[in-house]
Homo-oligomer: A and B are copies of this chain.
């Protein structure tokens, strides 16, 4: 039984959706509405954001608060569980910053911007 291996998988599984870590990082600054998240991550697609938010919620990392208004208003925020990722997220940013030579694949993807 390799516990380290399981632990890494646990964390990655929760963070490694195409934009999950970015979404979580945005939420570290505070509660955001669905549309605000979308605006702050211009490349993300509507469906993709919806699915990733749902998974993050299922995994207990974010709260979803829906107001009974029309047009709808839905706010997302980090749970305590998710807030524990904050430290890790800043390290994701830092490593990327210090090694700002984009990877071959990341570059290929972002150049469509």
Seen from chain A, the residues whose Cβ lies within 8 Å of a Cβ on chain B are 2-16, 21-22, 25, 40-41, 55, 58-60, 81, 84-85, 87-89, 91-106, 109-110
The answer to whether A91 and B88 have CB atoms under 8 Å apart is yes
Q: A104 touches which one: B12, B58, B87, B89 (CB < 8 A)?
A: B58
Residues of B within 8 A of A109 (CB): 9, 13
The answer to whether A4 and B95 have CB atoms under 8 Å apart is no
Q: How far is the CA of A98 from the CA of B99 in the complex (A)?
A: 28
* CB-CB nearest in chain B for A93: B7
* Known A-B contacts A13-B103, A91-B91, A106-B13; A21 and B2 likewise in contact (beta carbons under 8 Å): no
Distance between A72 CB and nearest chain B CB, rounded to angstroms: 26
Residues of B within 8 A of A105 (CB): 13, 55, 59
Q: How far is the CA of A102 from the CA of B41 in the complex (A)?
A: 28
* CB-CB nearest in chain B for A15: B12
Interface centre among A6, A16, A60, A85 (most CB of B within 10 A): A6
